[in-house]
Amino acid sequence: MLRLSALLRGLGDEVDMQVPLTPAWRIRDVLGHLVGLAEDSLAGNYPEVSEPKRRPEQAVQREVWTQAQVDRRSDWSVPRLLEHWTVVGERLERLLRAEHLPAGYPQTIAVGPTFDLSCHLHDVRHALDRPEDRDALTTRIAFGVSRSWLGLRLGTAGLAALRLRSPEREWTVGNGEPGATLTGTSFDLFRSLSGRRSVEQLLDLKWDGDPAAYIDVLSPYPCPHSAVRE
């Protein structure tokens, strides 16, 4: 939160730039979404959105949920949004640091907000052409979340595990022996698993084994139509 807040505080008219990886939103709208996400998480309002690409009803639910977050703060200035985000963000951090979530809270809240925050941090950096924070803790955590969610999708699809390999280390995602290995930088793998790479870019990564069965499950979200250069 601090990294994105610091970035946004330094912007002028750039806050009205479109964010290509969230095509309906400007940078200020992304901030409104994150403020609303913190509020909804604190209220326990976090819908099940694990498979929006495969389950159209989830995609519709997610779109309505996130757009409502943007709309209810659409008349706020960026400084006011940032001030409010600090308040609700700190409350959310305290909630997430607790040993257990309160009864009745969806377990997705334990990881979902951090995943969203990191994705949008890099979405905004992409819009501004300011590529940093790739080794930030929030990026590493979000990559871990994306691997866990990929494992669930592989299981649901009945696919063999997938080995992910970066220059630093490797991970086996899913159950059983890997049916293929996908190699790239940790950042490219993270962005590939979170819907920020086109199908052509996914196929251009280094594969050991047939990627055909895995391409459609790598991300829970539809891939961009054009290549994303970050």
| Residue 121 belongs to a domain | yes
228 found inside a domain: no
Q: What is the pLDDT of residues 150-194, one digit of tens each?
A: 999 999 999 999 999 999 999 999 999 999 999 999 999 999 999
Q: Per the domain annotation, does 34 fall within a domain?
A: yes
Residues 67, 115, single domain; the answer is yes
81, 110, 128: which is the final residue of a domain?
Answer: 128
Alpha helices in the chain (DSSP H): 2-9, 27-42, 56-71, 78-97, 112-128, 137-157, 186-193, 199-204, 212-215
Per residue of the chain (230 residues), give pLDDT as tens: 889 999 999 999 999 999 999 999 999 999 999 999 999 999 999 887 666 666 777 778 888 999 999 999 999 999 999 999 999 999 999 999 988 888 888 888 989 999 999 999 999 999 999 999 999 999 999 999 999 999 999 999 999 999 999 999 999 999 999 999 999 999 999 999 999 999 999 999 999 999 999 999 999 888 999 999 99
The residue from 128, 148, 179 where one domain ends is 128
Q: Tell me: do 47 and 148 sit in the same domain.
A: no
Domain match, 114 and 34 both: yes
- CB–CB of 1/87 below 8 Å? no
Same domain? 57 vs 78: yes
Domain-ending residue, one of 128, 147, 175: 128
CATH assignment at residue 208: 3.30.1050.10
Q: Are residues 65 and 145 both part of a single domain?
A: no
Do 119 and 16 share a domain, yes or no?
yes
> What residue numbers bound the domain in which 106 lies?
2-128
Residues 10, 119, single domain; the answer is yes
Sign, CA dihedral 78-82-84-88, equals positive
In a domain, 220, yes or no: no
The span from the CA of 213 to the CA of 160, in Å, is: 9
Query: Is residue 115 domain-shared with residue 17, that is, in the same domain?
Result: yes
**Does some domain include residue 226?**
no
Q: Does any domain span residue 60?
A: yes
Work out whether the CA dihedral 177, 182, 187, 191 comes out positive or negative.
negative
148 in a structural domain? yes
The pair of structure tokens assigned to 216 is 């459609």
State the pLDDT at residue 166: 96
Tell me: do 8 and 104 sit in the same domain. yes
Residues 202, 150 share a domain: yes
The C-alpha atoms of residue 85 and residue 79 are separated, in whole angstroms, by: 10
Angle at 90 between CA 85 and CA 92, to 5 degrees: 95
| Number of domains within the chain | 2
Do residue 101 and residue 22 come from a single domain?
A: yes
18 within a domain of the structure (yes/no) = yes
Residues 87 and 152 in one domain: no
